[in-house]
Structure 1
Amino acid sequence: MLVVEGLTCRFGTKAAVDNASFSIAPGGFVGVIGRSGAGKSTLLRMINRLAEPSEGRILFEGVDVTALGGRDLRLWRARSAMIFQQFNLVGRLDVLTNVLMGRLATVPAWRSLAQLWPDHDKAIAMSALEQFDMASIAAQRADQLSGGQQQRVAIARALVQQPSMILADEPIASLDPRNTRIVMDALLRINKHFGITVVCNLHSLDLARNYCDRLIGMASGRIVFDGAPAALTDRIARELYDLEADEVMGVAPELVPAGSALPALGTVAAA
């Protein structure tokens, strides 16, 4: 279980996240919602320890994540895999090598620098690409892909880390409606098939309601809502989003109907 206790991050006198406290049980799909600048990205970056808390603690299965350093911190960042809005791929490298970057915490540095990846890791990476129908372009440069393809490569890279949790920071912000559906479906399949906890920052309220089983609402760095999507009424949503309410409450594209069957996945997470 992930436990966040009084987590605060200040930049000068401004608190980007202010005294956030919550817990997330394994296997959930949690959406973090709120208007731009609410503190959503900073919250996820602190959980992954890409941003340092000013106060508070992060616990995972009883381990104080905020106290980790060195190799233990690298392993935590692998276990809490991040997916970014801008993909964070190396454009000049091929797709397979970008996915293999997710194995950096498990291989000696000299192997990754020389690109002498073990066959076992290559098999894991190819299996992950197959999950998202990307194996056929494994040799293609990442900068030749569409935005949706790049984000699926980024998700495959996260999957090969064999994480306990995936932290997705606005993963569909720059995508068109079709690729938005493809990426959100991929995250949902990972969550349901492998039981990997997903914490996903989302701007669209309709996407959050349709894909997530729990919503955490943030405003001005504080958590102001925490509950099931059905409990988030339009009135509460309008208070949460203020002037952005009409923008985020539009109809989401081709959403997954509740209770619909999910395509089967392979066994890459258990490799």
Structure 2
Amino acid sequence: MLVVENLTRRFGGRNAVEGVSLRIERGSFVGVIGRSGAGKSTLLRMLNRLTDPSEGRILFDGTDVTALRGRDLRRWRARCAMIFQQFNLVGRLDVMTNVLMGRLDHVPAHRSLLRLWSDEDRALALAALESFDMGGFAANRADHLSGGQQQRVAIARALVQEPDIILADEPVASLDPRNTRLVMDALADANRRYGITVLCNLHSLDLARAYCDRLIGLSAGRLVFDGRGFDLTEDVARELYGLEAGEVMDRAPPEVPEPRPRPVREAAALGA
């Protein structure tokens, strides 16, 4: 279980995250929602220890993650894989090599520098790519892929880390609807098939409701909602999103008025 106790992060005189406390069960799929600047990315970066908390603790199965240093911290980052909005692939390298980078914590440094990957590592990487329909692109340069394909490669790279947790920071923010669905399906598959806990920052409330077992809402760095999608009322949405609430809440599509009949003379002029 992942436990967050009174987690706070200050930047200058501003609290990006303030006093957040959570308990995340293993195998859950949690959506972190809120407007831009609410503290979602900072929260995930603290969980991975890319950003250190100003106050509070992070515990995982009884281990104090906030106290880890050196190799123990590197091992934690391997167990708590991060997926970024910008994909963070090495564009000039092929897809297979990018995925194998997820094995860096599992092999000696000299082997990874010389790209002396074992057959077992290669088989694991290819299996991860195949599971997301990307096996046929293993030899392609990463920068020749579409955005959705690159993000699925990033998820495959996270998967070969053999993580307990995947943290996805706005993984679909720059994708079209089709690739958004493919990437969210890939995260859901990793969650269901392997029992990996997923925390995913999302701006779209529709996506969060469709894919997540639980929603955590942040506003100005504070936790203001913790529940299921159907528990999220319009009042809470307004607290989370302010003036943007109407854009993220479900709304019936506008009615399209029936076209008015053309005047007889206009219809005749058009040959109707």
User: Do both share a fold (TM > 0.5)?
Assistant: yes
Unaligned runs of 5+ in 2: 252-272
For 2:226, the aligned partner's letter is D
Select between 226-235 and 63-72 the one with higher mean Cα deviation.
Answer: 226-235
Q: Counterpart of 1:207 in 2: which secondary structure?
A: helix
Distance 1:115 1:250, change over 3 A: farther
Q: Which residue of 1 aligns with 2:192?
A: 192
Q: Which residue of 1 aligns with 2:84?
A: 84
Please give the per-residue CA displacement for 1:140-169, whole angstroms capped at 9, x wherever unaligned: 000000000000000000000111110000
For 1:108, the aligned partner's letter is P
For 1:229, the aligned partner's letter is G
Does 2:23 correspond to 1:23?
A: yes
Does 2:33 correspond to 1:37?
A: no
Name the count of aligned residue pairs.
251
For 1:75, the aligned partner's letter is R
Separation of aligned partners in 2, 1:89 and 1:250: 35
Instruction: List structure 1 segments (4+ residues) > 2 angstroms apart after TM superposition.
Output: 246-251
Shift of 1:194: 1.1
Separation of aligned partners in 2, 1:87 and 1:184: 14
What pairs up with 1:204-223 in 2 under 5 angstroms?
A: 204-223=204-223
For 1:38, the aligned partner's letter is A
Contact preservation (8 Å) 2:79, 2:165: yes
Separation of aligned partners in 2, 1:206 and 1:37: 20
Distance 1:250 1:113, change over 3 A: farther
Separation of aligned partners in 2, 1:162 and 1:84: 18
Shift of 1:239: 2.2
Q: Which residue of 2 aligns with 1:52?
A: 52
Scaled by the length of structure 1, the TM-score of the pair is: 0.91
Q: Counterpart of 1:44 in 2: which secondary structure?
A: helix
Q: Which residue of 1 aligns with 2:114?
A: 114
Separation of aligned partners in 2, 1:134 and 1:189: 14
Q: Which residue of 2 aligns with 1:137?
A: 137
For 1:247, the aligned partner's letter is E
Separation of aligned partners in 2, 1:183 and 1:249: 22
Please give the per-residue CA displacement for 1:81-100, whole angstroms capped at 9, x wherever unaligned: 00100000000000000000
Please give the per-residue CA displacement for 1:178-222, whole angstroms capped at 9, x wherever unaligned: 000000011111111111110000000010011101000000001
Alignment RMSD:
0.9
Q: Counterpart of 1:156 in 2: which secondary structure?
A: helix
Q: Which residue of 2 aligns with 1:256?
A: none
Separation of aligned partners in 2, 1:53 and 1:36: 20
Scaled by the length of structure 2, the TM-score of the pair is: 0.91
Does 2:140 correspond to 1:166?
A: no
Separation of aligned partners in 1, 2:250 and 2:185: 19
Q: Counterpart of 1:56 in 2: which secondary structure?
A: strand
Q: Which residue of 2 aligns with 1:261?
A: none
For 2:94, the aligned partner's letter is D
Please give the per-residue CA displacement for 1:101-130, whole angstroms capped at 9, x wherever unaligned: 100111111111111111111110001000
For 1:84, the aligned partner's letter is F
Q: Which residue of 1 aligns with 2:246?
A: 246
Separation of aligned partners in 2, 1:109 and 1:248: 46
Identity %: 73
Contact preservation (8 Å) 2:219, 2:239: no
Q: Which residue of 2 aligns with 1:3?
A: 3
Separation of aligned partners in 1, 2:174 and 2:65: 31
Please give the per-residue CA displacement for 1:209-255, whole angstroms capped at 9, x wherever unaligned: 1110100000000100111111111231122100121232357xxxx
Distance 1:230 1:98, change over 3 A: same
Separation of aligned partners in 1, 2:75 and 2:250: 39
Shift of 1:7: 0.5
Unaligned runs of 5+ in 1: 252-271
Q: Counterpart of 1:92 in 2: which secondary structure?
A: coil
Separation of aligned partners in 1, 2:198 and 2:186: 11
For 1:233, the aligned partner's letter is T
Q: Counterpart of 1:150 in 2: which secondary structure?
A: helix
